[in-house]
Structure 1
Amino acid sequence: MRDTKESRLLLVLLIAIAFALITVDIRGGRNSPVDGARQAAAAVFGPIENGVSSAVDPVGNAVSAVRDSGDKHDRLAKLEKENATLKAKLGSDDRNRSRLKQLDTMLNVAAEGQYGIKGAEVIAIGAAQGFSWTITIDVGANDGIKRDMTVLNGDGLVGRVTTVGPDASTVLLANDPDFTVGTRMEGSDELGFASGQGDRPLRVELLNGKAEVKKGDRLVTFGSQADRPFVPGVPVGVVSRVDPSGGGLTRTVYVTPFVGFSRLDIVGVVVQPPKKDPRDEVLPAKPKPTPTPTVTVTVTPSADATDGTATDGTATGGTAADETAADETQ
């Protein structure tokens, strides 16, 4: 169609009619007078739309596939992450069981000794304050921790608190060369002082140079004045070697500590001392000695002995009456 005056007038008229129909359709709502015309148009143009839709569907399907692929990838990544988390959780079950066992044992020790303790976790090992054998625990002044408090675990004496921060503290371990604690021998009550020697047994100087001590004897803490830095009755270790007595004023013994200082995890800080000295009550039960096997020897008589003849040809088995008769005959 050429651009003429008539064509322009026709275009304006068609636009005006379209706006009028739109206005009437909007005002009519469900009862719109053009609804019938709309349905007729749908019947006419529906097949054409379906054909166009069929032609465009492969592209739409491809876009949908890409989008779904991304969703599937995200879901797969999420599932993989959840599996990894679950595996990590399952893998840590053994550690959790170990820690629960440590905590349970420590609580039993605290109950037997009547110690009020604050549980803590070891979060670092190292020379935080220039000491060679120290640990850092995750409790501090905000938890009621103070300097020179006793630290223990389910096995026995761990050390003492030396530095306190708001939420963490440094503990000097009992095997540090700068560590010294008063000890008391189980049963005999012999007193002494134990000093750390790093990864070697503790060195204990007994105050009695003639003290009767042997391998396997056990020691506990003697306690300090006002229970700082040490409360009484905490297991220290077992005597592993005794130096010969040289007639000196003291006697030296070497003690293997109950605590394994290289595998510390859960510990407790004694924030409330016992009302009375627990003495030896906190020490673990002694292992029962293995019974010595009994050897039975059975003697079986030889055939010659059974016949009454000795191996050297001497007759045996006669009675005293027979021997007397023989003498009288002679």
Structure 2
Amino acid sequence: MTLEAPVPGALFRLGTALEGDRDTVVVESGGALRRLSDLLPDIPGDATLVELIGSGWETLLDRIAEALAGGAAAPLPDAADVRWRAPVVHPNKLICIGANYKDHIREMGLSLSSLPAYPYSFIVPPATTLVGTGEQVAVPRMAKRIDWEAEVAVIIGCRARDVAPDEAHGCIAAFAVLNDLSARDWSGPNAPSVGIDWVMTKAYDGFKPMAPFLTPARFVGAPDRLRVRSWVNGQPKQDGTTADMVFDFASIVAHLSRIMTLEPGDVIATGTPAGVGHGRKPPEYLVAGDHVAVEVELLGRVETTLVEDLAVVGAAQEISAPGGARR
């Protein structure tokens, strides 16, 4: 796929490319890609962003800036052909925040008169839900109401436990873009009597596509005023701003750190603005063949195509064999 345009204001960003069968950390600057190990030869070629974030992140960023200024390392010649992974591969935790934009709360038929005292959160498995931009995501065979959610993701930069809100920004290493795909079949009036089943709603393979790059927090001067947008098959769906969040990034990090130890590389998806399919009248849902794009100002863009679940396709082919019998 075509490399996304450079982001104004970001001196560089970092991502994870798949070269053959190996993950490689790359640096994007001005639209050019360079292997981190080419820029900084003392960095092992098999180092991961999760490892790098946890071992002197700010010093690493200073060194990258110095190397780029010195003209070190030639760019990759085939940047348009890169296959992307999620920028952080296999973080320890992927935590999602729900109902965190006022306009989204309203569109879902909920009242702003009794906002929660704490961020509403749940956890999904990062190893199987996180995928890179350009990847195909299968529509689960058991779900019919697949929705899109454009979100800003926070990447944790240090071990954080019981952090005060005024110190929480210092725990954020970077920001990224995430599409929190959701199966709405078990929410609203269809939810079990005990409440929403978040695993059946959010935890399917590939349901958390991420844009290629992490933008270091030092380059994001006003994270509380980022424009967040999405499109389905080229048609605009969401157009909001992080200024509408109920809980800002620091409040979310501080709250979660009171419950669990946050670790370097952990990903926190921070909620979505209005314009999701489930909140429309009539509701709109994704089907196989649909293309979804999510973009956040200064951070980048993730694109995903929905496809049929191969197990469903295979079963249908068996049933449609000559004579109507299974082969």
Q: Whose RCO is larger (CA < 8 A, sep 6+)?
A: 2
Q: Larger % of strand: which?
A: 2
| Higher radius of gyration, 1 or 2 | 1
Q: Larger % of helix: which?
A: 1
TM-score by length of 1: 0.31
